[in-house]
Chain A
Amino acid sequence: MSAPRKLSLDDVRHVARLARLAPDEATLQKLTLQLESILGNVAKISEANTTGVEPLAHAVPLHNVLRDDVVEESLPLEKVLQNAPETDPPFFKVPKILGGDEDSAG
């Protein structure tokens, strides 16, 4: 990662697809320049000497927290569904999935 490589519009389009975002062409161009600047700046981390250093995901030591497998009260169905854009209780509604999806990669 020494020298941040130039980002192409296609690179950014690819990342947008991974992130499930749909920027228009103008936004895509702007994002390309901004991401290039930001990624160029954050690439500074590669200058730190990290030989033999273990990555640290959490600053405070954490371990798994377990509890007995007993049924506890859950949110009532109407509260779970109350913010959904479209429902057919007890289901969330989405467009038809089978057949129309060519974007299974990523």
Chain B
Amino acid sequence: MQFPDTLISARDAIRSKAVSAVELTRHVMDRIAAIEPTIRAYNSVHAELALEQAAGVDAGERGGELAGVPIALKDNLCTSFGTTTCSSKMLANFRAPYDATVVKRLAAAGAVFTGKTNLDEFAMGSSTENSAFHTTRNPWDTDRVPGGSSGGSAAALAAGLCVASIGSDTGGSIRQPAALCGLVGIKPTYGRVSRYGLVAFASSLDQIGPFGHTVADAALLLNVMAGHDRKDSTSVPGEAPDHLAELERPIDKLRIGIAREFDLPNGMDPEVKASFNAAVAQYRAMGAELVDVSLPHTEYGIAAYYVIAPCEASSNLARYDGVHFGHRTREPVKDVIELFSRSRSEGFGEEVQRRIMIGAYALSSGYYDAFYVSALKVRALIKRDFDEAFKRCDVILSPTSPTPAFKIGEKTGDPMQMYLCDVFTVTCNIAGIPGISLPCGFTTGDKPLPIGLQLLGPAFGEPKLLRAARMYEAATEWSARRPSV
């Protein structure tokens, strides 16, 4: 039997009873049994729960937009089932007392949860190598990383170990793994999706978003997850738009912004650059107008990000104290401060401690203005750049990542090299705007690697952003390719 492997096709097959939800879930669980030992996308697989949820759909007890579709959740989303570990020793046994709002919404729409996926510890990283548990492999070449931090969600979907998945994006953590695994990934506008129940990393930058094989798959998930939530005061009031309604309608006279600052003189892989140029030519062939725009403060993006995000992280992660939840040291301690310090140093991995230290330094007396306040001023300038650019264009195009998937271990020795992976993605979070990555080509060679195209749009401009992405997808074949795992 040929099983559907996209979200929309799976939903339709279940609706028309061409396949039952239990059959599809069993099929995914069989694939997990066969392939997961190689890919290691999951921290925990919940076969029993998934089959129970699927049976509920088949019995007509559960329904909705996602009825019976197997979906994987990044393991920093709180679920009342199983553990929520953030791929950290700190939370290895943590059982969340409630469901994140997005988890509730997905469940209410009839989704089947396959399990919780691996990530860089507390979502800090670009390769998923910072997981305290295991390394996830890229299904296109298992010697390479899937990207990160939502690498488990991306690898699970690319390998067919779920039909769609959910990630979170603080500086590119959905878009970059989507690019490296040949998927569509959306970072919604800040405030579009409730963050309630997402374990906080950098609260002014974090957003939850979807992975799909197609733009329509991701749009459907965004529809289910988006909207106001009174439990997250930063979620915007009012109804979210229907991102599927006009998805198939091409945009007349689409204005594509090309920012000269995204044309990196060094460090961009030639095949990425060639694929990007071909994508621009494709848009032009479809009648889009190309507009030169300038984002002059892009060069400060990485620097501002690696001040703001660690500052917020050092504050957010102060809650892990070995008292209320999480790891507590077993060593004898002389006082409560030592209890905190030892528990934290034992529970957090290297990268997390490094970022807490950067944040604590940048927020400390004497450095606060020079680092934190300066970074927030640069943030205002970056936002202003985008505001100006979007007066002249509808979307801005760039590669998602300067390189395709890199080898496991290639960048772990030098944190700064790893940070530079985020050069195209961080300014989107800094400015709070939406971004999408979709496949735009493959490298040559015996193990072709996916290349991602990033489209950025103005705040709350998702409907148009997704339509622009869909235009390209409809004209090309990249999204139909699957790795041979």
Contacts and interface: CB of A to CB of B under 8 A. Distances in A.
Interface of A: 1, 12, 15-23, 31, 34-35, 37-39, 41-48, 50, 53-60, 62, 65, 67, 75, 79-80, 82-86, 92, 94-97, 100-103
Contacts of B359: 19
Given A62-B233, A83-B326, 11 more contacts: A1-B374, A21-B344, A35-B357, A44-B300, A55-B380, A58-B190, A75-B97, A82-B97, A85-B322, A94-B323, A95-B336
B323 A48 contact: no
List 4 A-B pairs, minimum CB-CB distance, nearest first: A59-B432, A55-B376, A83-B325, A85-B328
B81 interface: no
What does DSSP make chain A's interface, helix, strand, loop or mixed?
Answer: loop
Contact of B383 (A22, A47, A56): A56
B375 interface: yes
Given A12-B357, A53-B381, A95-B339, A20 B303 contact: no
Contacts of A97: 335-336
Contacts of B375: 42, 45
B416 A79 contact: no
B414 to A, nearest CB: 8
Interface in B266-322: 297, 299-300, 302-304, 306-307, 314, 318, 321-322
Nearest to B97: A79
25 contacts: A1-B374, A15-B357, A16-B341, A18-B360, A22-B341, A23-B345, A34-B354, A34-B415, A41-B419, A42-B362, A43-B303, A44-B300, A45-B374, A46-B374, A48-B377, A53-B380, A55-B377, A58-B190, A62-B233, A83-B97, A84-B323, A84-B325, A85-B326, A92-B324, A95-B339
Contacts of A103: 335, 337
Given A53-B381, A58-B432, A83-B326, A42 B190 contact: no
Interface of B: 93-95, 97-98, 189-191, 204, 230, 233-234, 236, 297, 299-300, 302-304, 306-307, 314, 318, 321-328, 333-342, 344-345, 348, 353-354, 356-362, 364, 367, 370-371, 373-381, 383, 415-416, 419, 430-433, 459
Nearest to A44: B303
A20 B95 contact: no
A6 B236 CA distance: 44
Contact of B337 (A20, A46, A86): A20
A43 B236 CA distance: 34
A15 B354 CA distance: 11
B256 to A, nearest CB: 23
